[in-house]
A and B are shown apart, each in its own frame.
Chain A
Amino acid sequence: MTAYIVRRLGLILLTVLIASMVIFIATQLLPGDVAHVILGQFATPAAIENLREELGLNRPAVVQYADWLARFVTGDWGKSMVSGYAVRPLVLARLRNSFMLAILAFSLYVPLGIALGVVAAVNADRALDRALSALTMTFVGLPEFVSGLILIGTLALSWDLLPANSSISPDSGFLEAFPYLVLPAIAISLTCLGYVARMTRASTIDALRSDYAMAADLKGLPRIQVLLRHVLRNSLLPTVTVVAVSIGWLFGGLIVVESVFGYPGLGRLLVYGIQHRDLTLIQACSMVVVTIFGFANLLADVLYGVLNPRIRFSQ
């Protein structure tokens, strides 16, 4: 088990490392010179050369990367190229807001997705299953900006149940922000809800058809006990992985949804950074998202190992 966790951790650190290279190459090394970006298209060659020297852009790429990575790991995320403020406090504050939104969305779609999946599986190939399948497929296929707009149009504008705009003060507390979180949370949840429900359905159907489910039935155990102890205990294992991977999609979805609702989170900050070509900001935001994604996967692997005796008991 220890070996398993260590191996997984190593793999995820490697993934993050490779992602950091891609981010660095995409932002700093590709054509579209950083000094040009900062100084604008009318800058003199001499000014650009000076800035390049100052930013260390004339050094070999590998040295630049190592320097950047070392500073990033030690907490020096640089200064915004647009505003000149330190990037780290800004990113972390917005990360907190995104977390509030993500946690609400997560606690909406995980239980609901699993429940829908199980209900569909138990009624496999019946009318209810078909209806649920159609519904979840729609959720999966519907982009967040469309579902977000539909939600705003109905729940907010037509029925006036919830605020249509979530552009609250960036340092609001959770309770204060709650009414503004509901609509964006639902909008992000739908896609993940669809995925979780469909995966749960598939693995639960497999488990229901297994010999051990038949054996449990023929032991005369009550149906609910067969379902909980024998079927779900095994069928939810793959779901755990899907749920963890969905955290990645969740943060991807944030970028769109936060923009639609004007919510001051990490996604909106990233979009702002891209619009203003603020490379330091883009790097920091991307690295945070990549790291969260990686550790969500680590969490999935560890949980899977803990729940699966075949991994737990291999020395």
Chain B
Amino acid sequence: MDKSTSQSEGQTVLEIKGLGVIYESEKGPLETVRDVSLKIGRGEVYGLVGESGSGKTTLARAVVRYLPRNGRISSGSVLLNGIDLLHLSPVEMRRVWGAKIAMVHQDPSAAVNPSLTVGEQVAEVARIHLGLSRGPAWQKALEMLAKVQLPDPGAMARRYPHQLSGGMLQRILIAAALITSPQLLIMDEPTTSLDVTTEAVILDLIRDLLKDYETAVLYITHNLGVIANVCDRVGVMYAGRLVEEGSIQQVFKHSLFPYTMGLMGCVPRIDVVRRGILLNTIPGFIPRPGEWPRGCIFAGRCPIVEEACRDTPMPLVEREPGHLTACRRWTGMDRVQVAFGIKDKVAQEHHPASGSTWLEAKDVKKYFGTGSSWLTRALKRRSTSVRAVDGISLRAQSGATVGIVGESGCGKTTFARCVVGLEQPTAGEVMLDGKRLGSTWAKRSPEILRQIQMVFQNPDASLNPFHPVGTSVSRPIMLRSRLSRSELDLQVRALFRAVRLPEDYTSRLPHELSGGEKQRVAIARAFAASPSVIICDEPVSSLDVSVQASLMNLLAELQSSKETTYLFISHDLAAVRHLSDRIAVIYLGQIVETGSAESVFAPPYHPYTEALFSAIPIPDPDVHRERIRLRGAVPSAAHIPSGCRFHTRCPRNIGTICEDHEPPWQDAGDDHFIQCHIPFQQLRAMQNAKADRHAVQVRAQA
């Protein structure tokens, strides 16, 4: 894993010198990348990390000279093995693409042609660049499919993209990229659109494959955990500039740039952070292109800024061997630690009221019919129903947070929609404070509707684009009470203050706000009704890490002051753990493990929880964990496996009993339940053995 020494040995494959990119816009030319220089050696994986708008994708597009029509490279050079790509003609560039530089894109399902077989999409690269004829090219493609560990390459190659899962498609794209053994491989967020479990498998594959290739890799991601797990060196981008560069150890363990330090603290750590502790946040926003300050780009948000920082720009300077920073005050990093808010890190004491069950779901089921037309039924002779939610029961106590976690397609969102009444459950009931609720919102009283609010994943879709955001927030208040205009205005302003938005934002339209600000409005709207329960469906997943952190802090603070019950739904185990008192792990429409946040993440685990836990990349190069990987994707909810529904992917499958019998609920004590055939004493023994093995390894390394 530790390849950090290899970079000095390998010759330089890619060298970027002083690269600048300008986009022509209606407001005139906008500089989006300025003066970026970096080198990547043979066999080296260089991670480029940054938040959205930092210019990392633009940089990659500039390297391959594939900028949008309004973009142009304004300065610098891009050398690939000594040849300046910027001097090549478009026809010559086409001979570089695919052959010398290959690219793997973010969303695999959009990056494959839906009308061609996947094998053909790999083989065509071999035909063009390796000069192979149809037959040998197809053979070569099959070899590559085997290399990226797709089962039964012969049959797989003849399938069409819609028949494959996202993880399989990403393997296809990796196969197409590596078939020519390119000198440089650019991966732009290759796992971001995948589930954590799939992400983990693809990251393993990338790591293993790269051992066989001498390829230099430019790996772009916003995910610090992924960088720590895959890369040798890392460059941190901020507002179009490279602000820090060094080995993984250097940057993660003793960063020399305040922004990097801030970013590290923003990420909830599945292995460290516990409930009740606030995350670091970075105040302010990334300066937009065209609004860049004269001096240091981070000066406006930096806790250790001094006058000189604001006046003169600071280049990237090597301060330690191999470790470069653009901070003139790089010796004062310990003060950054303090300044980013460790002093008031602990939130107000959090005591969820015990005993009183506030929200309760009893055996909620939601089946969707497929093939409901008489004709399909007649032709198919059977109708399948999709069991999206298949009997979920849970309780949330007043003022507590119940986290619901699972892969995409596990039914967590459908369950949430059943609870708020947006979907009519097929069976089961929802109770609030002991009272049974109507099955849909139409059957619930305004008072009940007021009490249960929801924050949706995508604030762009949940805010009316034609209403000023203040109006959106005022609606739920009007539902609750008759107020005069000025009183209403006062309340809206108070809510804006509570979610840390400037009060004059009330008159703005949603498109004038950033993604994080919009989600704050959505949270304000949820609280406007003074609800007793708020259902948060992936409220932070679409946002940047630093914005995620501040929103999670906000949710935690509002809860402790207003005693609101949260149902927090997310695929992000770390976020769920960070915010939740209790956690329910869902697989294919059923809970497989439930307990307090501490007990669910302490052995004994359910094998599924264990796999989810193990899949999360941890942003710390020193943490090495045993890999527990799940095969394939979540089965379709239309064809739920027999017996234990997890048995098809379970790494701890113990044979026929798992395939034939539904597993029993086991009481692991302390209100912690596991649905598994393996006795929990045995599960605990496995975890202890694992911990011992790990300890031995650590000692051996030392």
Contacts and interface: CB of A to CB of B under 8 A. Distances in A.
Interface of A: 2-3, 6-7, 10, 210-212, 214-223, 225, 229-230, 233-234, 237, 307-310, 313, 315
B627 interface: no
Interface stretch (B20-28, B221-229, B372-380): B372-380
B348 interface: no
Contacts of B379: 2-3, 6
A234 B176 contact: no
A290 to B, nearest CB: 23
A240 to B, nearest CB: 13
Most chain-B Cβ atoms within 10 A of its Cβ — which of A218, A237, A315? A218
B347 to A, nearest CB: 42
Contacts of B66: 214, 217-218
A37 B314 CA distance: 94
A222 B128 contact: yes
A212 B110 contact: yes
Contact of B114 (A221, A223, A310): A310
Interface stretch (B97-105, B332-340, B598-606, B633-641): B97-105
A223 B93 CA distance: 12
B375 A7 contact: yes
A115 B160 CA distance: 28
Nearest to A314: B162
A230 B97 contact: no
Interface residues of B, number: 34
Nearest to B379: A3
A11 to B, nearest CB: 10
Given A6-B379, A219-B176, A222-B128, 10 more contacts: A3-B380, A6-B375, A216-B113, A219-B98, A223-B94, A237-B115, A309-B115, A309-B160, A309-B162, A310-B114
Contact of B116 (A229, A237, A308): A229
Interface string B169-204: 000010010000000000000000000000000000
Contact of B111 (A7, A215, A229, A309): A215
Contacts of A234: 113-115
Nearest to B64: A218
A221 B128 contact: yes
B107 interface: yes
B107 A309 contact: no
Most B-side CB within 10 Å, residue of A217, A225, A308, A313: A217
- Identify the interface centre among B94, B113, B129: most chain A CB within 10 Å of its CB: B113
8 contacts: A215-B173, A218-B101, A219-B128, A220-B94, A233-B115, A234-B115, A310-B114, A315-B380
A305 to B, nearest CB: 13
A230 B115 CA distance: 8
A interface, over-half SS? helix
Interface centre among A223, A230, A315 (most CB of B within 10 A): A230
B116 A233 contact: yes
Interface centre among B99, B115, B373 (most CB of A within 10 A): B115
Contacts, number: 92
B615 interface: no
Interface string B288-311: 000000000000000000000000
A211 B170 CA distance: 13
A221 to B, nearest CB: 6
Given A220-B96, A222-B94, A310-B160, A212 B380 contact: no
Given A7-B375, A220-B99, A310-B162, A211 B111 contact: yes
B105 A211 contact: yes
B112 interface: yes
Contact of B113 (A10, A230, A237): A230
Nearest to A125: B69
B480 to A, nearest CB: 45
Given A218-B97, A218-B98, A220-B129, A7 B110 contact: no
B75 interface: no
B97 A220 contact: yes
B631 interface: no
B279 interface: no
Given A6-B375, A310-B160, A215 B112 contact: yes
Interface string B59-103: 000001010000000000000000000000000001111110111
B423 interface: no
Among B66, B114, B176, B373, the most chain A Cβ lie within 10 Å of the Cβ of B114
Contacts of B124: 219, 221, 225, 229
Contacts of A237: 115
A127 B163 CA distance: 41
B583 interface: no
A234 B95 CA distance: 25
B125 interface: yes
A214 B111 CA distance: 8
A88 B43 CA distance: 79
A120 to B, nearest CB: 16
Contact of B115 (A211, A219, A307): A307
